[in-house]
């Protein structure tokens, strides 16, 4: 494998699937990230939506576009992201992680919306090969951080690594009528995660002890992709930086981080537009406006 300067890596808070079709402060940040990556050899995505009882990587040449949601407009259900796969990169993923730990999936999965909803902004031409790494639901947080560390050498071979999830993701508390802003507990956990990843990445796995963790991540699937960027940051010996931040619908964080993205492309940590959240949910939990 060729060796070069490490490609950028990221954790992107993908939020509502409709972000695939929208132009907003977060999708524009994803676009900046993609532009900063130039023309990578491939993209490896750890998506919250491939969550199963094994560790696997897609290894098909032509992954299908998976519409793993319901109730959205026809335009979204018909959206296609026809990026090629890369059996070669899939085998490299299995090799760096340990051949007994990663299965090669040659037919069952593809690209779910946790992947294509962000990559359509990062690489809109759908001409960069994409592989997905499944989240093994049976493994503890430390396993995922370690797997992130093991993946680090791929960045020196032209592979961009992206975690796609949401560090706050509680659909039971969601308030569709308040698209901007979040509950106070969501803001506290979002701030704690930002502090950890941008200063001491090895502390990210310890966030499960945070008093707001179980509200922020009632299921761990959307939080775990963040652990892969934490592992990459540990391997690099430097913390991540904020690409964009903000809360949506009360209980979803759109915060995103990058590692080794050129400073002139990273912006200054964009936020949601500064509109006050309106209305008080029946639970009487206070909503707050996005941070300035």
**How confident is the model over 53-100, as pLDDT tens digits?**
999 999 999 999 999 888 888 999 999 999 999 999 999 999 999 877
User: Per-residue pLDDT averaged across 118-145, rounded?
Assistant: 97
pLDDT for the residue 279: 31
With 70 as the cut, is the pLDDT of residue 164 above it? Answer: yes
Residue 130 CB-density burial (10 A; 0-12 exposed, 13-18 middle, 19+ buried): buried
Mean pLDDT of the chain: 90
* Domain contains 120: yes
Strands (E), 34-173: 42-52, 56-58, 64-65, 103-105, 110-111, 130-136, 159-165
* Domain contains 4: no
* Domain contains 138: yes
* Domain contains 182: yes
* Domain contains 157: yes
* Domain contains 247: yes
User: pLDDT confidence of 286, banded at 50, 70, 90?
Assistant: low
With 80 as the cut, is the pLDDT of residue 235 above it? Answer: yes
| pTM of the predicted model as reported, rounded to 2 decimal places | 0.91
- Residue 38 belongs to a domain with what CATH number? 3.40.830.10
With 50 as the cut, is the pLDDT of residue 7 above it? Answer: yes
What is the per-residue pLDDT across 165-198, written as a single tens digit (0 to 9) for each? 999 999 999 998 888 999 999 999 999 999 999 9
Domain, as residue range, for 267: 9-288
């Amino acid at each position: 494998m060729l060796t070069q300067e490490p490609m950028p890596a990221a954790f992107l808070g993908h939020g509502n699937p409709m972000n695939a079709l929208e132009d907003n402060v977060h999708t524009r940040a994803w676009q900046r990230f993609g532009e900063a990556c130039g023309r990578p050899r491939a993209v490896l995505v750890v998506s919250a939506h491939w969550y199963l009882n094994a560790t696997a990587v897609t290894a098909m040449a032509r992954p299908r576009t998976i519409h793993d949601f319901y109730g959205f407009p026809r335009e979204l259900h018909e959206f296609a992201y026809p990026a090629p796969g890369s059996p070669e990169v899939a085998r490299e993923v299995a090799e760096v992680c340990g051949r007994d730990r990663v299965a090669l999936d040659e037919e069952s999965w593809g690209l779910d919306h946790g992947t294509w909803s962000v990559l359509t902004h990062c690489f809109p031409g759908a001409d960069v090969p994409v592989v997905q790494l499944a989240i093994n639901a049976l493994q503890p947080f430390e396993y995922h951080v370690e797997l992130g560390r093991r993946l680090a050498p791929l960045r020196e071979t032209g592979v961009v690594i992206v975690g796609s999830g949401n560090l706050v993701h509680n659909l039971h508390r969601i308030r569709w009528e308040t698209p901007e802003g979040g509950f106070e507990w969501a803001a506290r956990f979002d701030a704690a995660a930002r502090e950890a990843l941008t200063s001491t990445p090895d502390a990210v796995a310890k966030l499960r002890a945070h008093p707001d963790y179980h509200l922020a991540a009632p299921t761990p699937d959307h939080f775990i992709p963040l652990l892969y960027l934490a592992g990459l940051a540990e391997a690099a010996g430097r913390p991540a930086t904020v690409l964009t931040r903000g809360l949506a619908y009360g209980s979803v964080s759109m915060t995103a981080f990058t590692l080794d993205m050129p400073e002139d492309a990273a912006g200054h940590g964009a936020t949601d537009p500064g509109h006050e959240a309106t209305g008080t949910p029946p639970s009487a939990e206070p909503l707050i406006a996005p941070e300035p």
